[in-house]
Homo-oligomer: A and B are copies of this chain.
Amino acid sequence: MQTYEGPDFSKTELIPVIAQDAATGDVLMLAYMNETAFLETLETGRVCYYSRSRKKLWRKGEESGNVQELKSIYYDCDADALLVKINQIGGAACHEGFRSCFFRQINPGTRQTSIVGERVFDPKTVYKTPK
């Protein structure tokens, strides 16, 4: 069995990261880290992602104040995915104001979707620039 020492950024520059609420177990969001974001997260104890759309480090909450305090961090068997257990300041991880980004459920039978998540804030009151 291969011995891993952490996520393997030599296989892929960006590694998907699952953010899970450390207290409730709710899955809050999925985002990406490059190696710089990963190391900054370890050093600061605040979760830093890499924004694929903005092509730069994304210190989650730097605008909204809803930072993510790192509680624990794990990597998977293939060393190409990360799991962070966090304390989400402000209670909402999603830029649309929901606690979790996964606030829409799909009905497998009808394929219809419905909003099941809890909205914590109104994005218009939090962000200066439209998302």
Question: Chain A interface (Cβ within 8 Å of chain B)?
Answer: 1, 4-6, 16, 18, 20, 24-27, 29-30, 41-43, 45, 70, 72-78, 81, 83, 94-96, 98, 101-106, 108, 111, 113, 116
How long is the Cα–Cα vector from A20 to B25 in the complex, in angstroms?
Answer: 10
Q: Which residues of B contact A77 (CB under 8 A)?
A: 94-96, 98, 101, 103
Are B30 and A113 in touch, CB under 8 angstroms? no
Q: Which residues of B contact A24 (CB under 8 A)?
A: 25
Q: Which of B1, B96, B104 contacts A75 (CB 8 A)?
A: B104
Are B45 and A106 in touch, CB under 8 angstroms? no
Q: Which of B18, B105, B108 contacts A45 (CB 8 A)?
A: B108
